Structure formats: structure tokens, C-alpha cells
Amino acid sequence: WVIFLISHWGEQIGQKIRKISDCFHCQVYPYPESEASRTDTITKLHSQIQELSVTLEETEKYLAEVLDKVALALPTWRVQVQKMKAIYLVLNQCSFDVTKKCLIAEVWCPVQDLTQVQDALRQGSYQSGSSVECFVQRVPTSESPPTLIRTNKFTAGFQSIVDAYGVASYQEVNPAPYAIITFPFIFAIMFGDVGHGLLMFLFALWMVLYEDSPRLRQGTNEIWLTFFEGRYLILLMGAFSIYTGFIYNECFSKATVIFPSAWSVATMANHSSWSSAYLATHPVLTLDPNVTGVFRGPYPFGIDPIWSLATNHLNFLNSFKMKMSVVLGIVHMSFGVVLGIFNHVHFKQRHRLVLEFLPEMIFLLALFGYLVVLIFYKWIKFSAADSRVAPSILIHFIDMFLFTSNAENLPLYPGQVPVQTVLVVLALASVPVLLLGTPLYEWCRHRAPRTPLATGEQEPLLEGQEAGNSVNATMEDVESGGHSPDAKHSDFAEIFMHQAIHTIEYCLGCVSNTASYLRLWALSLAHAQLSEVLWTMVMRNGFVRLSYVGGVVLVPVFAAFAVLTVAILLVMEGLSAFLHALRLHWVEFQNKFYVGAGYKLCPFAFAPDTWD
């Protein structure tokens, strides 16, 4: 405040000064003549200032108490406001009836939850005291219903993998339940190692055991949240990797002797002339399985640990893993084709069983299923005694397509050439059936006289659909996945073009997809070789090349080995194997039966993450 003194003569000038002071909201105090009066005025002003200070202090205390109470109630108020805004947003999407007295909302609702919705509406009408009771009426529609797939915390991760490819069409076969087993198994084929799988399993187990911890759930790191949401997927990938690691007999690239080896070096030494001079000049010795007692039968489980010492270890694993990849790939693709049966039967398209499923299976099994039979037949037919004269399966497979035979490559069984010729002819004959079967069937069906139902009359509404189906679905919607047969592919040219694309994609895909499964072989060998290189370059040098004898120097060596193992073999190799397994499921497996052209059911709900 600025204090100033104004001296004037005359009452009229004084009144003008007071008006000017009032305009500027100035406090005007008269200046008494005597000293005592001035002192008394100043004392009164100080008293007023003190009273105002006390009043302001009490007011601030009261406001602080009010704000403290508001701070406690503010999260609840915020939730209430958000809920009110969400409710009014939905109500604004409703429409009035003719009388303008009630709202009409058209929604999708699963049949399983229809009773709960009716009970909720009835209870809401009772609690609000409304004179008009809410009710539900099922309305027919030709629109394709949304897809609702109920998941839990275990299956949610696998369903997310499938939904990333495309949401299932209405009532289409869902690949997620099968991916719970096939996805971790295919991952483990490329990541097979007991040690690495155990580390991954323990990490996922820790996340599963403490999944209710707020610190784990409410993390801000996006990468961490991705790992946490897929904790059950990582758990199964680690468990399957331990299993395949026991089959490969690899634990941090080293073999474990669980059972005694089936190969006997002592027997080979007793039946050979391995003198001291011979041993000095031959650092590599050969174990001949044809010598009695050298090879006593297959290893009980997995690969014999003696192979880890052999110089031809890589050649042996190359042959084993390559054939294993081809066999598993063809079985996986065949399973995908078989799953298409459920779609054909459910959508009342039984003609596709003969015109699509049968030609597809004949084409796949006559060519590549026969390749699997040759692999197993050669494993069973030829032993170590006649392994040198065993013919090449690859050359036989090439000659099969060329309708020729190679005199230098002996046949595997009598009459092999006629059998292969018949199989190729069957595969080629199935192609025109797959190409023209469905278009000709649809063309003949549309040319035939239509029944009254086909001319536009609707079926009665379903009263007992399966759990998870929409209430707004007619029989026609259910049979054709939301599209009536007359509306879908009504033009013959469009049907033929669609079928031609499908035929070309399937026939060429059988060849390319089979070759694509060889990534199981490549990634598995790469993981094993990286593990061996890491052990040799770090831990082996720590054990062998250090002149100091003791465990102190091994501490930094082991620390470097642990960091590189986690960073390269677990994180980088694990991510690589995960992406390849994802591709095999999306491209090679799901495209045999899965369309994924639907859309999710997004029901009205209050998201708990907003106010937890």
C-alpha cells in the first residue's frame, strides 16, 4: 500500500477528492488536529489489522482442512465422473421411440449372458422407480455378428498371438487352443537346451508366482509389461525347451550322461589293432557299429552323449534335425487342413469336404506325406551293416516328379517307380478338382429352382444358440458365418477368381511351406553352435588357459559367461526363435483353415486400470 497525505481548503474540493479516492478504492482516514486523536486512530487501525490477520489465518486453516478432505475424496469423484461420462456416451448412441418416453438400444449380446442382462435391466428399473420396465427383444439381422472368445489369464497370451494375425470370423475354428501346445513346442525345437530352458522357465515361474504384486503389474516399462502379459507363454516355452534339450542332450552346449552310452570303446579296442604307434599317428579313432559289442542298441532317451565327442557330430545332427523338421512341418500342415473340416461342417458347406478338403489332403499327402513315409522307411529298412548302399531320398523325390528312375540310386522297395507315378498323377488330378469343383457346384446350385426359403423368407430366430453366440443371428447367419449364400460370391466369375487364387496359393504353398519348416533345423543348429562357441571362447579358456590355479579368477570369467548367455542366447536367440515360431503358425499353419476376417465384441465396461 502507498500512504499519502492530501491537504485542501474548502469542503467542495474535499468532496471531489473523496470521490476520486472512492473510484480508485482508496481508504480515506481523516487527519485529526491533536496528537492524542492521531495516536488513537493509529491504534484502532493496528487493532483492525491484527483482527484481519487472525481472520485470514483461521480461513487458511479451514481451507486447508477442506482441501485435505477433498484430496481423499477426489479419486472417488474422478471415477464417478468418468463413469457418468461413459454412461452418457452410451446413452447418446441410443434412439428415442415414437412416444419419446423411452430409449431404444440395439446391441450384440452373448446368449450365455442374456439372462444377466435381463436381470440387470429389471433391477435397474426397480431401483430407479421407473414406471416403464426395461425389456429385451431379439431382433433379426443379416449383419455378421462380432466374435467373443472368453479367455483367462493363462489363455489370454495365446489368444493375443492369434488375434494379432486376425480376429476369428463368427463361429470360425479358433487356433488358440491348439497353439497352447504347438507354439511352445515349435519354439523349443529351435531353442532346445536344458540349461537355457531352465533359466527361462524359472524367470516365468517367478512372474507367475508373484503375478498379483502391484510392483509387477503397474510397471511403466513397455517391454517389461510385454514379458509380464506373456508369462504363461514363456513358462511353457521354457518347459518345452527343457524337454527338447534332453532329447538333443544339450545343457549349455555340453552333453549329460544320464544313462550309460550304448557305444563301447573297450570292445572296439579289443577287436582292433590299436597299438601305441597307431594311436600316436591317428588322433581320431573310428567306432565301427558292425563289430559285435561296439554298438549295443539305441540310447534310452534322446541322443547318445558319445556323439558330443565325435568329429562327425555336426553331420549326424544335420541329417537328424533336417528330417525331423520336414516330418514335423508336414504333420503340422496336415493338422491345419484337417481343422478345416470343422468349418465346412459347422457352416453347412459339406460340398467343400469333397471339393476342397479331399483334393487338398490328396495333394499334400501324395507328395509330401509320401516323403515322410520314405524317411521312416529308410530309417527302419537300413541298418549299419548296409548303410553304405542306402539310396538317397532326395534323388528319389526329384525322380518322382520327373517320372524317371536313376540306375545308380537303388530303389527303396520293389515297385517304387509305379507307386510314385500313381501318387504324382493323383496329386496332379486333384488340382483341377480343387480349382473347378466349388465354382461349378455354386453355378449349378444357383441355376437350380429355388425353394421359398431361398427367395427371401427368413428362418425363425434361434432360441438356443451355443454359448458365446450373438442373440441377433438368424439360422442363415450361423450357417454362413454372417453372410447369406446368395449375397456372398453371387457372381460366377468372382467365385472362380477366388477359388483360382486359393488353388494357386495352396499348391505353391505346400512346396514353399514345407521348405519353410527347415528353419527349425537351421535355428536349432545355430543355437547349438552359438552355445558351443560361447562355452569354448569363455568358460573353456577360463578353465584351461589361466596359469593361476584357483577359483578367484573364474569369478569374472563366469560373470562374463552369464551375461553373454542371458543377452545373446536367451534374449536375442529366444526372440529370434519366437518370431520364427510366430511365422510358422501364421503363414504355414493358420492359412490352411483360418480366415480371421471378423471383429471383436467390445462390450460396455468400466476399465479397472483407470481407477485401480
Mind listing the pLDDT tens digit for each residue in 372-392? 999 999 988 888 778 788 888
**Can you tell me whether residue 569 is helix, strand or coil?**
helix
Evaluate if residue 609 carries a pLDDT over 70: no
SS3 at position 346: helix
Q: Is pLDDT of 468 > 80?
A: no
Residue 490 binned pLDDT confidence (cut-offs 50, 70, 90): low
Please state the separation of Cα 381 from the chain's center in Å. 42
- Contact in structure between 211 and 252 (CB atoms under 8 Å): no
DSSP state of 306: G
Q: 61 and 197: one domain?
A: no
Q: Residue 612: inside a domain, yes or no? A: no
Structural domain includes residue 479: no
In the three-class reduction of DSSP (H, G, I as helix; E, B as strand; rest coil), residue 470 is classed as strand
pLDDT for res 505: 92
425 to each of 431, 447, 507, how far by Cα in Å? 10, 33, 14
Instruction: Return mean pLDDT, the chain.
Output: 85
Residue 164 lies in a domain: yes
Name 147's bridge partners: 600
Specify the 3-state DSSP secondary structure of 235.
helix
Give 317-344 as a DSSP string.
HHHHHHHHHHHHHHHHHHHHHHHHHHHH
* Residues 352, 441: Cα–Cα separation, whole Å: 10
Q: Any residues with CB less than 8 A from the CB of 247 and at least 6 apart, and which? A: 192, 301, 302, 303
- Tell me: do 64 and 185 sit in the same domain: no
In a domain, 606, yes or no: no
- State the pLDDT at residue 482: 41
Residues found in the chain: 612
Q: Which domain holds residue 371?
A: 154-262+297-446+495-592
Handedness of CA 110, 112, 117, 120 (dihedral sign): negative
Q: What is the pLDDT of residues 422-433, one digit of tens each?
A: 999 999 999 999
Query: In the chain, what percentage of residues exceed pLDDT 90?
Result: 44
Number of domains in the chain: 2
Spacing of C-alpha 75 from chain mean position: 35
Give one word for 299, left, alpha or beta, with left for phi > 0 and alpha for psi -120 to 50.
beta
Q: What is the pTM of this model?
A: 0.78
Give the cell for residue 538. Answer: 569363455
The answer to the question of residue 600 being in a domain is no
Instruction: Let me know if residue 433 belongs to a domain.
Output: yes
Using N-to-C axis directions, what is the helix angle for 231-248 and 176-190, rounded to 10°? 50
8-state DSSP, 600? B
Q: Are 487 and 440 in contact (CB under 8 A)?
A: no
User: 58, 75, 92: which is the final residue of a domain?
Assistant: 75
Residue 181 forms part of a structural domain? yes
Residue-level pLDDT at 489:
42
Q: What does the pLDDT look like over 277-303, one tens digit per residue?
A: 777 777 787 787 878 778 888 888 989
In a shared domain, residues 419 and 556: yes
Flag whether 109 is in a domain.
Answer: no
- pLDDT over 60 at 459, yes or no: no
pLDDT tens for 491-523 read: 778 888 999 999 999 999 999 999 999 999 999
Choose the final residue of a domain: 29, 47, 75: 75
Tell me the CA distances in angstroms from 485 to 146, 179, 470, one per residue in order: 19, 31, 20
- Distance spanning both ends of the chain, measured CA to CA: 50
- 95 backbone dihedrals φ, ψ, rounded to 5°: -125, 155
Local structure of 154: helix, strand or coil: coil
